[in-house]
Structure 1
Amino acid sequence: MIKRIYLLLLALAPQIANADPLTKYQHLPTDVADMPFFDTEAQAQQRTDEYNSAIDAINDALDTCEEALCETLTQHQADLEYAIDDHQEKNGASITSWLGGPAYTPEVGLMVAAGGLFSFSTNREQQALQRSSVSLFAVGTQGDAGFGYGIRSKQNLFFDHNNTRFTGALTFSDDAENYWGVGYDKGKAQDSSADTLMRNTSLTYDANLSFKNNYGFYFGPVLRLKYYQADKGSIPLAAEQDENFNAFKDRPLSIGLGITLNHDSRDVTVNAWQGQYFNVEYINYGSKIGSDNNYQKVLIDYRYYHSFNPGRVIAFYNALQWSDGEVPFYDMPTLGGSFSLRGLYAGRFRDNNAVEHTAEYRHTFLRDNGNLSAHGMTVWGGFGSVTSNLDTNSSSLYEDLLYSYGLGYRYELQPRMNVRIDVGFSADDSGFFLTFTEAF
């Protein structure tokens, strides 16, 4: 009798093994509302390991299961994969993600980028605290001027119930770019060619530290650092004939200190679905703090986000840049690149003042169960202009308009943190961009 029972259990073993992921791990919640907050990071990590074990067990079971059971297991596996992100976000767990691939931008041509995104909570006990993040990309490029390389990093850090914030952006490159000169007319005068291509070494670092006051506004100090040194052996004709370039080619360092004042009601800073952001910055560059140049800049930045259905967001970006004094060509207000009028060559149009208005629709696709998936798309359109002077009625600011439009794919690599792939177009250029976080 015992032998028969043993043989029966052996015969049923495959079925028991296939059903095991649905029974052994049925205690793992897939709805964020049912997920517990664990007292310690070790307990939270143990739950993460359980989710991963359940997913691995389902993978093994999918090799031998029948069609009906396979469909159930596949759906449950997808639920668990999404649940890991929700669990880690709720428990303030650290997450590291790696990404690499090719891209094309009008500034550097073909490039290969590889890097990572690290997100975490500075205090996991404060569950409403936004997740901090640090991204780092290494970039290799191959363009008309040969091989180039660079490093890009962004930092978004949140402390003390979101009352203290730090944002930083670092860019270093040894590469080539096209230089047309200062003003709209010079940017329109010719297409990129050997007459505009110039190799250079550049370093940019922008940092904002802000504190929330009792009136709901953030304020704090601002640091701006810009170093730009052109390769004197490859200065193109467009630069040789430009007065601003000749005035500042041997004054490569600009350092500025200033202040920011803003009001921020966005739900998530790096990928807002709802809320508004209004920011005013004033920066003064001077020799007293080590700058080669003396000038001042003002930024007025307003953004609006509205979600009219889950995963359906309309976003607006408006910015005015003003500068005055000995403003070097390499730190003038510009339009274009991966964060401003995408598809327009960054720096092709530069002047003392610039304005931009962009509208974007962001759509996140739904899963079969009706919840939001990790996949989405966007479409956008915008316009802007540059000018040397602002008159009282601002007519000169909108005299020569530049346009940009495009579409993009989004993948949620970490909770509310997307990989962004955009294809942008303009009358003069186009670009294919691969990076982390939204353009605005």
Structure 2
Amino acid sequence: MFKRIYLLFLVYAPMMANADPLIKYQHLPTDATEMPFFSTEQQAQQRTVEYNNAIDEIDTALEQCESAECDTLKQRQSDLEYAIDDHQEKNGASITSWLGGPAYTPEVGLMVAAGGLFSFSTAREQQALQRSSVSLFVVGTQGDAGVGYGIRSKQNLFFDNNDTRFTGTLTFSDDAENYWGVGYDKGKAQDASADTLMRNTALTYDANLAFKNDYGFYFGPALRLKYYQADENDIPLTAQQDDDFNEFKDKPLSIGLGITLNYDSRDVTVNAWQGQYFNFEYINYGSNIGSDNDYQKVLIDYRYYHSFKPGRVIAFYNALQWSDGDVPFYDMPTLGGSFSLRGLYAGRFRDNNAIEHTAEYRHTFLRDNGNLSAHGMTVWTGIGSVAGDTDTDSNRLYEDLLYSYGFGYRYELQPRMNVRIDFGFSADDSGFFLTFTEAF
């Protein structure tokens, strides 16, 4: 009799285990510190499949569970959904995420954006290597000048235990924007209207390649490419009567080469919680390399991040832009947009010099178990100003202050890589921004 019961147990025990996903997948860790690193990509991929199977089977079990059991299943499913991201990050797995939705910015009006974020490791065996990422957005716009379109892409690539880095930013648009002219006074002179709206085709590509030296600094070459062509049939009064526009309207191409020198102690480049970043860039634009214009630009950029506790971060951004020579209006230092003084119209205030200071508080909400969730919010405020290149004008950098403030929602689409939805406000403009990664 005992043997018969024992045999029945051996037969049905695996079936009972298979019927209960809590038992069947209890070997899957949910604590990031307990995640194993697999020696091969195939093993890591198999573990990803196990996580997904467990989540799917709990979904099925939830359809038939009772209330008390449901809570346990839901908690386990939530833990597994967060754990799969930690597993993929630790094992250097490639992750692709898609995103789409409406937005509104002061520059283009209503827009619909669709795109993706692809992250990966260039050497999965290097555990300290930051994840590389490439984002791409296709944007359709509907503003006062009709339908427009654009492409936006960012590349952050890390190699050789973070000792070699490449950053790139690409924007292309066939759209319309408002043009006020150069200087604070022109930006303040009037509101956006048909008299300021100018249709154009524009392309920008910025690229930095940096290598870490023995002193802990990154140093390397930088490339800048800017093309801006206004529609000759649709030039507004503000441009027709503007000397800066008329001087450079037939010189649409600027090409610059230079150097970048920076120090970076941030824990994660695209979403820092701790550390500092100091960056110096010098770019020379010249006809000897194909540029239509001859001038030079300098950027000094300092950022500081401090975490009071997990998920509670205060971040500071400070930047000084300087330019000299025959600087075209379309490549002058500006403030505003989705990365600088959000809520201020990008390009409304432009001049040979610009300065900005922004402080931001970032808050990640906690889950029921006390761990960080994928949801967060942020609030910020910032000030800045623009000034000309003469001694008198440059002293006005802090005289005519511009400001921006706002709040936003964050969703961690991939480990330490957020979808950013920001609502920004200023004295003259406001905006609703949808994009990947933090503003700074």
Indicate whether the TM-score tops 0.5. yes
The CA RMSD over aligned residues, in Å, is 1.9
Aligned to 1:315: 315
CA distance in 2, matches of 1:383, 1:176: 27
SS in 2 for 1:71: helix
Equivalent residue letter for 1:344: L
Alpha-carbon distance, 1:393 to partner: 11
Map 1:347-366 → 2, pairs under 5 A:
347-366=347-366
Aligned to 2:167: 167
Aligned to 1:386: 386
Map 1:139-288 → 2, pairs under 5 A:
139-288=139-288
CA distance in 2, matches of 1:233, 1:427: 32
The question of whether the paired residues in 2 share the 8 Å contact of 1:256 and 1:283 is answered with yes
CA distance in 2, matches of 1:232, 1:56: 58
The question of whether the paired residues in 2 share the 8 Å contact of 1:353 and 1:390 is answered with no
Pairs aligned (count) = 434
Residues 323 and 140 of structure 1, relative CA distance in 2, 3 Å threshold? same
Alpha-carbon distance, 1:395 to partner: 3.6
The question of whether the paired residues in 1 share the 8 Å contact of 2:353 and 2:394 is answered with no
SS in 2 for 1:161: coil
Alpha-carbon distance, 1:396 to partner: 1.5
CA distance in 2, matches of 1:419, 1:18: 37
Deviations 1:157-177 (A, max 9, x none): 000000000000000000000
Residues 212 and 408 of structure 1, relative CA distance in 2, 3 Å threshold? same
CA distance in 1, matches of 2:242, 2:211: 42
SS in 2 for 1:398: coil
The question of whether the paired residues in 2 share the 8 Å contact of 1:260 and 1:282 is answered with yes
SS in 2 for 1:158: strand
Alpha-carbon distance, 1:391 to partner: 3.9
The question of whether the paired residues in 2 share the 8 Å contact of 1:390 and 1:397 is answered with no
2:355 counterpart of 1:328: no
Question: Kindly, what percent of the aligned residue pairs are identical?
Answer: 86
CA distance in 2, matches of 1:335, 1:102: 24
The question of whether the paired residues in 2 share the 8 Å contact of 1:313 and 1:363 is answered with yes
CA distance in 2, matches of 1:289, 1:119: 34
2:131 counterpart of 1:123: no
Alpha-carbon distance, 1:19 to partner: 6.0
CA distance in 1, matches of 2:394, 2:236: 34
CA distance in 2, matches of 1:284, 1:424: 33
The question of whether the paired residues in 2 share the 8 Å contact of 1:389 and 1:396 is answered with no
Output the TM-score relative to the length of structure 2.
Answer: 0.96
Map 1:11-90 → 2, pairs under 5 A:
16=16, 20-90=20-90
CA distance in 2, matches of 1:397, 1:211: 34
CA distance in 2, matches of 1:336, 1:74: 43
Equivalent residue letter for 1:235: I
Alpha-carbon distance, 1:271 to partner: 0.2
2:281 counterpart of 1:290: no
Equivalent residue letter for 2:409: Y
Aligned to 1:408: 408
CA distance in 1, matches of 2:362, 2:131: 21
2:436 counterpart of 1:431: no
Deviations 1:42-75 (A, max 9, x none): 1000000000000000000000011111100000
Residues 349 and 136 of structure 1, relative CA distance in 2, 3 Å threshold? same
Map 1:97-136 → 2, pairs under 5 A:
97-136=97-136
CA distance in 2, matches of 1:67, 1:18: 21
CA distance in 1, matches of 2:84, 2:241: 58
CA distance in 2, matches of 1:199, 1:122: 41
CA distance in 2, matches of 1:267, 1:332: 32
Alpha-carbon distance, 1:221 to partner: 0.2
CA distance in 2, matches of 1:395, 1:210: 34
SS in 1 for 2:397: helix
SS in 2 for 1:233: coil
Deviations 1:378-425 (A, max 9, x none): 000000000003649964111100000000000000000000000000
Equivalent residue letter for 2:339: F
Alpha-carbon distance, 1:20 to partner: 1.0
CA distance in 2, matches of 1:179, 1:393: 21
Deviations 1:361-394 (A, max 9, x none): 0000000000000000000000000000364996
Structure 2: gaps (5+ residues)? none
The question of whether the paired residues in 2 share the 8 Å contact of 1:375 and 1:410 is answered with yes
Residues 134 and 326 of structure 1, relative CA distance in 2, 3 Å threshold? same
SS in 2 for 1:375: strand
The question of whether the paired residues in 1 share the 8 Å contact of 2:303 and 2:317 is answered with yes
Alpha-carbon distance, 1:16 to partner: 4.5
Alpha-carbon distance, 1:35 to partner: 1.0
SS in 2 for 1:182: coil
The question of whether the paired residues in 2 share the 8 Å contact of 1:140 and 1:147 is answered with yes
CA distance in 2, matches of 1:286, 1:267: 37
Equivalent residue letter for 2:382: G
Deviations 1:304-345 (A, max 9, x none): 000011100000000000000000000000000000000000
Alpha-carbon distance, 1:102 to partner: 0.1
Deviations 1:20-48 (A, max 9, x none): 11000000000011111001111000000
Equivalent residue letter for 2:341: L
Residues 393 and 433 of structure 1, relative CA distance in 2, 3 Å threshold? closer
The question of whether the paired residues in 1 share the 8 Å contact of 2:387 and 2:393 is answered with no
The question of whether the paired residues in 2 share the 8 Å contact of 1:18 and 1:64 is answered with no
Residues 390 and 371 of structure 1, relative CA distance in 2, 3 Å threshold? farther
SS in 2 for 1:345: coil
Aligned to 1:340: 340
The question of whether the paired residues in 1 share the 8 Å contact of 2:320 and 2:356 is answered with yes
Alpha-carbon distance, 1:17 to partner: 7.6
- Runs of 4+ that moved beyond 3 A: 15-19, 390-395
CA distance in 2, matches of 1:387, 1:397: 5
